[in-house]
Amino acid sequence: MAKKLSKPELFEALGYKPHAGQILVHRSTAPRRVLACGVRWGKSTCAVMEAAAALLQPREACLGWTVAPTLDLARLIFQRTASTLLRKMRHRVKLYSPREQRLVVVNLGGGLSVLEGKTADNPTSLLGESLDFAIVDEVVRMRESVWTEHLSQRLLDRRGWALFLSTPRGRDFFWKLFRRGQNGRDKDFESWSSPSWANPMLDRAVIEEERGRLTAEAFASQYEGQFTGEDPDPCDVCHGPSRDVPATFLLREGEAIGRCAECGRSVDARGRTIVKRHSNGTASVVVIELRERRGEPAEVHFSEAAADQRGPVLTAPGGPALEVDV
């Protein structure tokens, strides 16, 4: 059996020069990798090269899937992988069937490696096989059950890896996968988020022109690669927003509202959340500022209104309103 494949040498042979963000993904050995980036960042190209490397890795046999919500989307990474190997290493392609979405390659060890394109619109078709790897594209358009009930089990006995790709949207299932790869929450996960302009082939000035044509939320999602909307889960550090804290917080003179280093929300002097999670899902905090002067009655300043997602407004006597983000 030949020695272990060198990705840098393979990429050079394939004419692929990954940018800095793609290199991080290729170097990772995490069993579960999550790539949440802006449009045209190069997510699909990164996945194609990961598939090519997996297929050519020396071993007796290998089976991998590319999975997407629809048949048309499933074809994209599958066909690009096949085209890359047909163009650069045709002598290693034993079988290519676009109709069946099946590619058979003779790997560097002489074994047979198989890549199949699958669609998630019929999850029962994802049952039965044991996989060495799975590349899951456009995850935001999939039901969570496709992974939890159909795909994840296919990787167990061969200790296979999975690569999840998508442009982020809201705090959905893809967000949950991404979050597991941040700050060491799950040792088997690693995740990355990056804006479209991290791709050196794109002109940032052209991208910036789109900022004025889209809502702030749409631009943040599509081009900045950010998850938008309210996070439904409590912070791992301050545990907020929480249903268990009071709806109001008493701020004494000399004290200040702090910020959680993890989520950036309001915390008390001990680093505990002061943000209330309401039954309707919104989060807010009403701050009561207590000012005490020797020999004078204490002054109490209420927020003008209960906070929404941005926080309350405190009115200081003789001064401008102070806005406090939750």
281-300 pLDDT, tens digit each: 788 888 887 666 555 554 54
Residues 36 and 166 in one domain: yes
Predicted pLDDT of residue 1: 54
CB atoms within 10 A of CB 134: 23
Residues 80 and 16 in one domain: yes
Does any domain span residue 18? yes
Residues 214 and 253 in one domain: no
Number of domains in the chain: 2
Predicted pLDDT of residue 126: 87
Residues 63 and 191 in one domain: yes
Does any domain span residue 233? no
Residue 254 zone, left/alpha/beta (φ > 0; ψ -120 to 50; rest): left
Per-residue b/e over 180-209, b at no fewer than 16 CB within 10 Å? bbbeeebeebbbbbbbbbbbeebeeeebee
Q: What's the whole-model pTM score?
A: 0.80
Residues 190 and 297 in one domain: no
Q: Could you check whether the bond before residue 58 is cis, i.e. omega within 30 degrees of 0?
A: no
Instruction: Compute the distance between CA of residue 181 and CA of residue 106 in angstroms, rounded to an integer.
Output: 33
Predicted pLDDT of residue 255: 81
Instruction: Compute the distance between CA of residue 203 and CA of residue 76 in angstroms, rounded to an integer.
Output: 24
Whether 138 is catalytic: yes
Predicted pLDDT of residue 265: 86
**Domain assignment of residue 77, given as a range:** 7-222
Does any domain span residue 236? no
Residues 181 and 314 in one domain: no
Cα-based torsion angle of the residue sequence 75, 79, 80, 85 in order, rounded to the nearest 10 degrees: 150
Which listed residue (50, 100, 129, 138) is catalytic?
138
Cβ–Cβ < 8 Å for 18, 200: no
Predicted pLDDT of residue 307: 39
Predicted pLDDT of residue 222: 97
Residues 189 and 43 in one domain: yes
Q: Point out the residues of the chain with pLDDT beneath 70.
A: 1-3, 290-326
Does any domain span residue 232? no
Does any domain span residue 94? yes
